[in-house]
Amino acid sequence: MRRIPQLLLVLSLLLLAACATQERSRSLTTTLSAYAGTLRWGDFASAAQFIDPKIRAEHPLSELDRARYKQVRVTEYDDGSGPVPLGPTEVQQTVRISVVNIHTQAERSVIDRQTWRYDEQTRHWWLTSGLPDITRE
């Protein structure tokens, strides 16, 4: 008879873990979609708000970076196959971003390797790899 309460406890814990995983997955999908939309519109200042606050405080955007982002227009954001889990609270995504220099009209693509981390306390996904480096090809 003691096995039934223990079994119910184990099943309850598994169900709670599954619910937390589903919530985390939905949150990731929403966050990645919002970030992609922000970059597609070329709003790098708003995209910076997706960066982990600790990292953002330690490495603020320089005026040179801001000026570089203002010189380009995003023409494509291809997230390919989507995020790949690195662990229970971390994913990585490789994105190809095409940009056009507004002064020269030259188009080029950059590869952005994004790393996202889930913060259990705030229940929020944060970008830990920073904004894309548009100076690389």
**Averaged pLDDT, groups of 10, the chain, 137 residues long:** 52 42 86 96 96 96 95 95 92 96 96 96 95 86
**What is the token pair recorded at 63?**
């005026």
Distance CA 123, CA 120 (A): 5
| 15-23: long-range pairs with CB below 8 Å, 24+ | 23/123
Q: pTM for the complete prediction? A: 0.81
Q: Which domains does the chain have, with CATH numbers?
A: 3-127 (3.10.450.100)
pLDDT of residue 136: 73
pLDDT of residue 80: 85
pLDDT of residue 93: 97
pLDDT of residue 94: 96
pLDDT of residue 85: 95
